[in-house]
Amino acid sequence: MNRADVRLLWSCVREYRGQVLVSILAGLVFQGASIVLPDLLKQGLDQGVVGGDRGSLVIWAVIVLVATLVSVGGLLGMLWSAVTYSTAAAGGLRERLLDHVLTLDRTADRFGAGDLAIRGTRDVDAVRAWLAGIASLVSGACGFVAIVVAIALLDPLLAVVGLAVVPLIALASIFYPKRLASVNADLSAAHGRRADAVENLLTGAESVRGLGAERVLVDVHHRDSAEVTTHTFRVARVAADWTALAPFIPAAGTAIGLAVGGPAVASGALSIGGLVAFTTWMTMLSGWIGMLTTRFTQVVQAMTAARRINEVLQAQPTVRDPAQPMPLPSRGALELRAVDLPGGTLSERVEAGEFVAVTGPLGSGKTRLTRLLCRLDDPAHGDVRYGEADLRTAELREVRQRITYVPQRPTMVSGTIAENLALGQPGRTLAELREACRGAAIDAEIESLPDGYETPVGERGSTLSGGQRQRLALARGMLAGAEVLVLDDVTSAVDIATERTMLANLRAWATKTATTVVFATHRSAVLEEADRVLRLPSPVRRDLVPTAGAVDG
Amino acid sequence: MADQATTVDESVLEEAPSQRNLRARAWPHLRPHRRLIVIAVVVTALSTLALALIPPAIGWVTDVVLAGDRTGMLVAALAVLGLAVARMVLLRASEVLLVRAGERVVRQLRDLVVERLAGTALRFLERHRTGDLLRRVTSEVSDLAGFVRSDLPDLLAVVGYLTFSTIVLLLYSVPLTLLLALVFLPATVWLLRSFKRAAAPAFSAQAARQAEAAATYREGTEARELLQTTGAHDVIRDRLVEDHRRLVTAARHAQRVAFRSSAVTVVQGVADAVMLVAAGLLAVYGVISVGTVVVFVLAMRQLFSSVTQLTQLLTQMQTSRTAFARLLNLLAVTSDVPAPGAEPHAPVTPRRGELSADSVCFSYTEDAQVLHDVVVHFPSGDRVALAGPTGSGKTTLSKLLSGLYRPATGRIRYAGTDLREIPPAELRARIVLVPQQVHLITGTLADNLALVPGNPDRDELAGAVGALELQDWVAGLDNGLDTDLGARGARLSAGEQQLVALLRAALLDPAVLILDEATADIDPATAARIETAIDRLRGDRTLIVIAHRPATIERMRTVISLRGGRIEERSAG
């Protein structure tokens, strides 16, 4: 049980403390009315049935009815409040996860995409289930104590029997949750691995199927699926031990209580109604313990989930905002100082307004270089400067406003073309979108679509071709109005005629807006268009420099 | 066959599929495990019988206490203890057995659904949000497993308990049992039915909203760098917040529906009061013993709490039914996928042959046709470049030629056989497509290369590396073939990722190899070397290359130009 995990769960409760409190109070009303019912029935039995008084039979019957109504009212209040705050809190938690993931750099890749999804769905759901059950847990625990007290008031000897079972139950409630937590964590992990296997099958479908590799991935899935089964059985055995043992303890208590209580009735110390109330309460006790164990299981599952959620929330990016951010100079040269690339150390300066192409053989670090320039990664050695200021001293948000990056394989979010173009810059007019698209040589294609700029792009832009996505991303980059545009091979999937138009437009636009362009590429048309070509050397054999990693070291 | 194929290509999953005849539809999946299921149910029945016998045993205690029989008291109390022990042992066995049976069913289902997704049409996958599909196949399946693990045993226990209690009560007093039934049953049944009617749509809506929020969350985490570089966190965040708002509304609605089942408790209160008066009067007039009154009062309380538990479990079951219906919907929509293992027939096509497209038309949406009447033949051993501007339909044609898409009209044939009639595994042995986008899994280079049929060994991997003259590149990685490529190959550049895809292709020996911009991200010098190596590798096989790079196109014997979805010209390259 980690302190941070407890804090995470507690923060969810604190945020909705008013509603949690209402839910608990309503739960207490429900408990109180339910527990007093056996006593009301006892009075009815003793005065009405055994005593033969017909009038009091009716009176007690009416009281029983009223108590039932109160108990139901409490139950409804408890559940209504619980569903409201637990769903809202779970949503808040998922939003926190998303917010945090969006501050991460490559550290986010440590979690598989499927696993990250599971943490935001299944694990958040586990926390939600626990939150929804808090009132039931707290009021149930109070009810539990109330029942023991009620038995004690009936006959002290019976209370001894009733209390004797409590430590046994407590012991079971300490031993089993621990056991269950460890087997449950294994089960969660197995589910996560299986989800990753499914994910691999679904996301790369085209590439996987082109080679006929589905079978290989299906076999991997089946292996993971078999493991899920093994862990499910293990959890089931532990859970079954617990479920079977938990109600047995009070049931055995009832049997012993009857052996003790029988003579008490015979000697007149206890009424028949009292004996009935005792067994009813003992039955309730076992029901309550069943409910409490379910709730404890949820606590355990929520702890496991909280740990997995915290792993994400506590992941710290290495690329992050400085403690005291300094504003970037208004305009200046982009400079690499002694930065490590696969081909060796590089120092290079790109003047403001310059159009520089970066090229080099496979693995020479073109992509790595472009990512350094807009601070998607930090260099292991050396630094990247804009107008003499180290990028690491400025706010990330500012760096990315001033230096726009367009990756080689741009992603999209689901929504329309217009929404994707104006990402991060709401309020752009259609005319502005058109102009940017004309620059990226994609305006005609968009306008030929029946819905034009309102055409949905599909998930991850799946309804667009790779070349169309590249040009839309370029249009988006131009629209951002940054001082520097860093492009990673954004013409790799377009034909030569289109490429020529794109380059001519890009050049005209860059000159007009005085934008600096850094363009990683191996296309000759780009190299010809550039003011200057920076050629990266071939990678040095990495076995000679064992410390340098492939991309992020 | 052709018609069936078209319907599958156009079928779409339902958000909230019908839950009618769910049991009948589930039966084929339960059938193989029926013996285990029967044993589990019998043991569960015995364990609930033990529980149902406890109130009569206590009633017996009351009667012997009132009679003042001290030995009888001890015997009766021992009987209660014996029943409690029996209950404990049987309950444990029943839970383990039920989970065993249920998990086997669920495992078979999840394996089957994965087989289906692996075999279904590519267009089908492209039409759905991955998040939604993934949720159906992962978290909803694990919900189902959870239901089987914890709720199903309870459900069966409660149903069994209610049955046995009724029998026991009838044995004690028929008129009282009938009265109980009269007060209690009609109102309860009415409430539960009204609950059931409203529950299906309410819980489906809740599940759909949940899936929506999950898909948005997932999309946000996957588009992380895009959102960071554009500063557009808020776009996805606002969507997620809106999804959550709608989820809360749906959850509250579902809870209101669930309240109908809580109203049963009120009926129980009425029944309690009526029984107290009725049983009390009967006892006062000496018709029944005080012991019988005790049995009824006790059994009724358990009966009621069982009914409440039953309604709660029915709520749980409703969620699981929804997930189950969504899973069955997925299975039904993909039911044309042949079962694996049925395949190792003798091949229906020769090892090498001509690939041809006749009058092929294709469109993604109804109003925009992408390919018009394409007729093209690739004789065995041909070397062809497919050229044309972006958006001219080259990639679509490559997917059709490799059988990943099926033409709306027209035929694609290999060696004279329609691709639809060639078993999937054989088709893939004949035609391989390497698209521009490479899919890498988290693991080593060797793990990634092994992502091809045929389970290649280390020697074969090394052979492929040699054939494409990439020994230097592999040797340059930290650990050669055992280099960890990071999450989804994140440590490789786009060009290096393409090398992995080409190496995979080199492990196979298809009659037709289609490269769709498969060297576009590789620098020209390396690309030229590899393209030459691929060309030389197997002279008798057909090579179709889609490329924009002039040097790549020039290396091919023939160039076919595509423009606006039509073949424009065919010329010697």
Residue carrying structure tokens 């049935």:
A49
Tokens encoding A309: 């959620």
Report pLDDT digits (tens) over A506-528: 999 999 999 999 999 988 889 98
> Which of B51, B62, B290, B439 to mutate to test binding with chain A, by most A CBs within 10 Å of its CB?
B439
Q: What is the mean pLDDT of chain B?
A: 85
Residue A551 pLDDT > 50, yes or no? no
In this complex, the residue of A48, A116, A208 whose CB is nearest that of residue B439 is A208
What is the interface size between A and B, counted as CB pairs within 8 Å? 535
**What's the pLDDT at A297?**
78
Residue contact B252–A41, C-beta within 8 A: no
Report pLDDT digits (tens) over B101-117: 889 988 999 999 999 99
In this complex, the residue of A44, A71, A120 whose CB is nearest that of residue B280 is A44
Tokens encoding B1: 């066959």
How far lies B53's CA from each of A71, B40, B46, B60, B63, in Å? 28, 20, 11, 11, 16
B52 to chain A: which residues are within 8 Å by CB?
Answer: none
Which helix H or strand E contains A535, and what residues bound it? strand A532-535
Residue contact B520–A48, C-beta within 8 A: no
Q: Is A210 on the interface with B (CB under 8 A)?
A: yes
The winner for highest mean pLDDT among A130-134, A328-332, B467-471, B545-549 is: A130-134
> Confidence class of residue B341 from pLDDT cuts 50, 70 and 90?
low
Secondary-structure percent of chain B, ordered helix, strand, coil, rounded to 5: 65, 10, 20
> Which of A41, A199, A258, A502 to mutate to test binding with chain B, by most B CBs within 10 Å of its CB?
A258
Residue A45 pLDDT > 70, yes or no? yes
In this complex, the residue of B92, B131, B142 whose CB is nearest that of residue A241 is B92
- Higher pLDDT pick, B295 / A358: A358
B74 to chain A: which residues are within 8 Å by CB?
Answer: 259
Q: Under 8 Å CB-to-CB from B390, ≥6 apart: which residues?
A: A465, A467, A468, A493, A494, A495, A498
Nearest CA in chain B to A43: B276
Residue contact A76–B490, C-beta within 8 A: no
- Please compute the mean of the pLDDT values over residues B424-445 and round it to a whole number: 88
What's the burial of B460, exposed, middle or buried (CB within 10 Å: 0-12/13-18/19+)?
middle
> Confidence class of residue A541 from pLDDT cuts 50, 70 and 90?
low
Q: Identify any residues that bridge with B546 across adjacent strands, giving them in sequence order.
A: B386, B516
Of the candidate ranges A349-358, A539-548, B303-312, B369-378, the one whose mean pLDDT is the lowest: A539-548
Q: b/e map of A197-208 (b: 16 or more CB within 10 Å)?
A: bbbbbbbbbbbb
Report the alpha-carbon distance of residue A363 to residue A333 in Å, rounded: 26
Of the candidate ranges A156-170, A421-435, B121-135, B174-188, the one whose mean pLDDT is the lowest: A156-170
- Higher pLDDT pick, A112 / B377: B377
> Which of B98, B184, B230, B402 to mutate to test binding with chain A, by most A CBs within 10 Å of its CB?
B230
**What's the pLDDT at B5?**
37
Residue contact A116–B221, C-beta within 8 A: yes
Cβ atoms of residues B36 and B100 within 8 Å: yes
Cβ atoms of residues A399 and A327 within 8 Å: no
Report the alpha-carbon distance of residue B325 to residue A97 in Å, rounded: 30
In this complex, the residue of A121, A251, A424 whose CB is nearest that of residue B87 is A251
B71 to chain A: which residues are within 8 Å by CB?
Answer: none
Residue A204 pLDDT > 80, yes or no? no
> Which of A104, A198, A501 to mutate to test binding with chain B, by most B CBs within 10 Å of its CB?
A198
Query: CA angle, A149 as apex, A147 and A154 as ends, to 5°?
Result: 95
Cβ atoms of residues B388 and B565 within 8 Å: no
Residue contact A237–B125, C-beta within 8 A: no
Residue contact A207–B442, C-beta within 8 A: no
- Please compute the mean of the pLDDT values over residues B115-128 and round it to a whole number: 86
pTM: 0.71
> Confidence class of residue A417 from pLDDT cuts 50, 70 and 90?
very high
> Confidence class of residue B134 from pLDDT cuts 50, 70 and 90?
confident
In this complex, the residue of A252, A280, A414 whose CB is nearest that of residue B81 is A252
Q: Is A85 on the interface with B (CB under 8 A)?
A: no
How far lies A205's CA from each of B135, B329, B362, B445, B504, in Å? 17, 21, 20, 19, 15
CB atoms within 10 A of CB B346: 5
Residue B20 pLDDT > 90, yes or no? no
**What's the pLDDT at A546?**
37
Cβ atoms of residues B419 and B413 within 8 Å: yes
Q: Under 8 Å CB-to-CB from A41, ≥6 apart: which residues?
A: A60, A64, A273, A276, A277, A280, B272, B276, B297
Residue contact B258–A79, C-beta within 8 A: yes
> Which of B98, B142, B455, B554 to mutate to test binding with chain A, by most A CBs within 10 Å of its CB?
B142
CA distance A337 to chain B (A): 22
A396 to chain B: which residues are within 8 Å by CB?
Answer: 228
**What's the pLDDT at A548?**
36
Residue B6 pLDDT > 60, yes or no? no
In this complex, the residue of B230, B262, B298 whose CB is nearest that of residue A276 is B298
- Please compute the mean of the pLDDT values over residues A473-491 and round it to a whole number: 91
Which residue from A174, A183, A93 is spatially nearest to A130, judged by alpha carbons? A93
The winner for highest mean pLDDT among B220-229, B302-311, B343-352 is: B220-229
Nearest CA in chain A to B402: A210
Report pLDDT digits (tens) over A302-319: 999 999 999 999 999 988
Nearest CA in chain A to B489: A109
Q: Is A502 on the interface with B (CB under 8 A)?
A: no
> Confidence class of residue A281 from pLDDT cuts 50, 70 and 90?
confident
Instruction: Note the ipTM here.
Output: 0.83
Q: Can you spell out the DSSP letters for B197-257?
A: HHHHHHHHHHHHHHHHHHHHHHHHHHTHHHHHHHT-HHHHHHHHHHHHHHHHHHHHHHHHH
What's the burial of B71, exposed, middle or buried (CB within 10 Å: 0-12/13-18/19+)?
exposed
Q: Is A59 on the interface with B (CB under 8 A)?
A: no
Residue A50 pLDDT > 80, yes or no? no
Report pLDDT digits (tens) over B531-554: 888 888 877 889 999 988 888 888
- Higher pLDDT pick, A207 / A79: A79
Residue A552 pLDDT > 50, yes or no? no
CB atoms within 10 A of CB A376: 22
CB atoms within 10 A of CB B359: 12
Q: Under 8 Å CB-to-CB from A214, ≥6 apart: which residues?
A: A201, A208, B118, B119
Nearest CA in chain A to B299: A280
Q: Which one-letter amino acid corresponds to residue B192?
A: L
Residue carrying structure tokens 């020994």:
B471
Residue B308 pLDDT > 70, yes or no? no
Tokens encoding A339: 């930065």
**Quick one: what percent of chain B has pLDDT higher than 70?**
95
Of the candidate ranges A24-33, A196-205, B92-101, the one whose mean pLDDT is the lowest: A196-205
Residue contact A95–B240, C-beta within 8 A: yes
Q: Is A545 on the interface with B (CB under 8 A)?
A: no
Phi, psi of B40 (to 5 degrees): -60, -40
How far lies A17's CA from each of A21, A136, A142, B20, B244, in Å? 6, 15, 19, 41, 20
